[in-house]
Amino acid sequence: MELDKMDENDWKYHGEGNKSLVVSHVQISRVLRLLKYPAEDSENPPQTAEQAFRQIQNIVDFSSNVMSSLLGEKFIHSGEVVKLPLEFVRQLSIKVQHQRPAWRCDKVMDIYSGCALCLPNLTSPALHQPTHTPPLCIEIKPKCGFLPSSKHVSKDIKTKVCRFCMHQHYKVANGKWKRRSLYCPLDLFSGSRQRMHFAIRHLIEEPQNNFKIFKGGQCIYSSKEGSDDSLDLNSLLHHLRPYFMYGNNRINSHMMGKAPLNDFIQFLVNALLSGGGGDGGLVMDRRGEGRSFCEASPINKERIRHGSQGLPSDSVLFRILQTQMLDTLDIEGLHPLYRRVEQHLQDFPKERSRLQIDGPYNEAFLEKLQKCPTEDDGSVEYAVAKVHQYRVAMTAKDCSVMVALLPSTEEEEDDEGISSPRRLRDFLSSRPPAFSYSVSILDLDPKPFDSIPRQLRLDQKIVSCYLRTGGALP
Ligand code: ATP
Ligand code: ZN
Ligand code: MG
Ligand code: MG
């Protein structure tokens, strides 16, 4: 990829989130992640090119120096900042505009700074020949996997119903989604295969923005916001069949039709419990209780057959959960500390850089949050450390996990190809896999310091909405 010879015809629309738009290269396994900002500001960008460059460099630093050490290097690809020709960016923005979902168009792509984040394309990890079975990638945005136990929590309901489930009621009440998702993060993070299976089934039924499937780099399964269309499970089954055709023996012919879906979920559960790649997922050294339930999850506690010892300590979910749990005070306990820092910065504006409020996100930043005293000594240092911890936890509550199922490379592949019954059965059991998989974490942006007051207001709105309507909705 030569940065001075960029051609918009080599790139296509790949997807977007709330903060960035992603385009992928048509030949090499690369994506460009460009910033977005509110459409109202499209005439005058909210920041200079230099500030945009700094913002993206901060993302890279935060991911590589802070999140990677907390989540595990093997899961992280931090990428690099690139400077693109403005004409290329302008043409690109015109080219992708008509493919963007309408509900995302309240924001526009940044065409002024020429800066972008260049990352490996995790949905198309290697160049695959069109004659071979393409890689299958599953993106899960798991959200917060624990119930707060902070003494600062003022509403009892927050210790019984998880944030995601309460937020669902709020989103339906505000028309963001037509139907509530029955996915509950506490089931996914439980470490119990049965509960995880249940959680993933609900992600498939109502993906919203928590679940997507890519085949050969192309999104083949996702939700459309505000849309009432029921998703096409048959078409999903059709896509999955070549990968998951020969699972366990199914006698019942009705079950036969759905078997690939069960094997698919089984594969995901295995990948999420494993150490992250190709090793068949030997599960040992489980940590945590795995006994916490959310009262809003439709799972029947009495019917959980096997108690769970929690997540294996080398699994991606364990690492994400541990990082999320750096939020020890809950937003209600954190907010007064935020205020302490804010007051201090008003009195001593120059302290902003020493306290690393807006970075740099380097080892010193990581050290600040890891060496936080357990008791509040009334200092601004304590308050800053808790705020840093909270912001890191927020990032971990918002990241996505990408699980890629990779057909074997040519040397490994025998004449039977990947649809060989024996090899696939080996793969689905705990014997060495017939084709490999990898697990990555993406979307590890630092959350701004001044987003904290907004978090408190949102928390209050979600809880009061739930208390008002929660019991009443189906
Ligand atoms: P959010 O609203 O979740 O915060 P965001 O605006 O921060 O999203 P990302 O989640 O980083 O943006 O990217 C948007 C989407 O683009 C992702 O959900 C994913 O589908 C896709 N994507 C991002 N990075 C990559 C990558 N390296 N490889 C493949 N696809 C990617
Ligand atoms: Zn829940
Ligand atoms: Mg995202
Ligand atoms: Mg994000």
* Spans of all domains in the chain: 3-120, 127-474
Nearest alpha-carbon partner for 190 in 19, 309, 105: 309
Residues 6+ apart with CB under 8 A from 260: 237, 240, 241, 243, 244, 245, 247
Report d(CA 4, CA 54) in Å as an integer: 21
167 to each of 328, 333, 463, how far by Cα in Å? 20, 20, 8
Give me the pLDDT at residue 300, please. 74
207 Cβ below 6 A of ligand 1 = no
Residue 82 main-chain phi, psi, to 5 deg: -125, 150
Please tell me the total number of residues recorded for the chain in this structure. 474
The tokens describing 97, both together, are 């505009």
Amino acid at 165: C
Average pLDDT, 10 consecutive residues per value, the chain (474 residues): 88 96 96 94 84 97 98 96 97 95 93 96 77 88 97 97 97 92 97 95 95 94 68 86 64 59 94 76 55 85 70 95 97 98 98 96 96 93 98 98 81 45 48 72 97 98 92 54
Q: What is the CATH number of domain 3-120?
A: 3.30.200.110
Instruction: Please indicate whether residue 445, judged by its CB atom, sits closer than 6 Å to ligand 1.
Output: yes
Atom of ligand 1 nearest to the CA of 119: 27
CA dist 33 → 67, 332, 397 (Å):
18, 33, 20
pLDDT of residue 202: 97
Q: What angle do CA 108, 171, 449 make, to 5 degrees?
A: 60
Q: CA-to-CA distance for 378 and 245, rounded, in angstroms?
A: 61
Q: Is the CB of 121 under 6 A from ligand 1?
A: yes
Distance of CA 15 from the midpoint of ligand 1 (Å)? 7
Distance (Å) from CA 289 to ligand 2 centroid: 17
Q: Which residues are near ligand 3, the ion (C-beta closer than 5 Å)? A: 17, 443
Mutate to test the pocket of ligand 1, among 211, 213, 443 (most ligand atoms within 8 A of CB): 443
Residue-level pLDDT at 228: 53
Q: Ligand 1 pocket, 443 CB below 6 A?
A: yes
Q: What angle do CA 165, 310, 171 make, to 5 degrees?
A: 10
**Model pLDDT, residue 307:** 62
- Specify the DSSP class assigned to residue 113: S
Please tell me if the CB atom of residue 122 comes closer than 6 angstroms to any atom of ligand 1: yes
Which ranges constitute the DSSP H helices of 223-315?
Answer: 233-240, 253-273
Is the distance from the beta carbon of residue 139 to the nearest atom of ligand 1 less than 6 Å? yes
Question: Residue 144 and residue 399: Cα distance in Å, rounded?
Answer: 10
Cα separation, 444 vs 66, whole angstroms: 10
Decide whether any atom of ligand 1 lies within 6 Å of the 22 Cβ: yes
Bridge partners for 81 per DSSP: 117
- Amino acid identity, position 82: V
Token output for 105? 């168009």
Give pLDDT, residue 142: 98
Tell me what pLDDT residue 215 has. Answer: 95
Q: Is the CB of 119 under 6 A from ligand 1?
A: yes
pLDDT of residue 417: 44
Query: What is the rounded distance in angstroms from the CA atom of residue 36 to the CA atom of residue 16?
Result: 9
Residue among 18, 22, 31 to mutate when testing ligand 1 (max atoms within 8 A of CB): 22
- DSSP per position, 242-259: TTSSS-S---SHHHHHHH
How much is the pLDDT for 466? 96
Q: Would the CB of 18 count as within 6 Å of ligand 1? A: yes
Q: How far apart are CA 58 and CA 25, in angstroms?
A: 24
The verdict on the CB of residue 21 being under 6 Å from ligand 1 is no
ipTM: 0.99
How many A from CA of 18 to the centre of ligand 1? 9
What token pair was written down for 277? 């790649």
Ligand number, closest to the Cα atom of 189: 2
Let me know: does 136 contact 213? Beta carbons within 8 Å.
yes
Ligand with minimal distance to 161 CA: 2
Quote the pLDDT of residue 52. Answer: 96
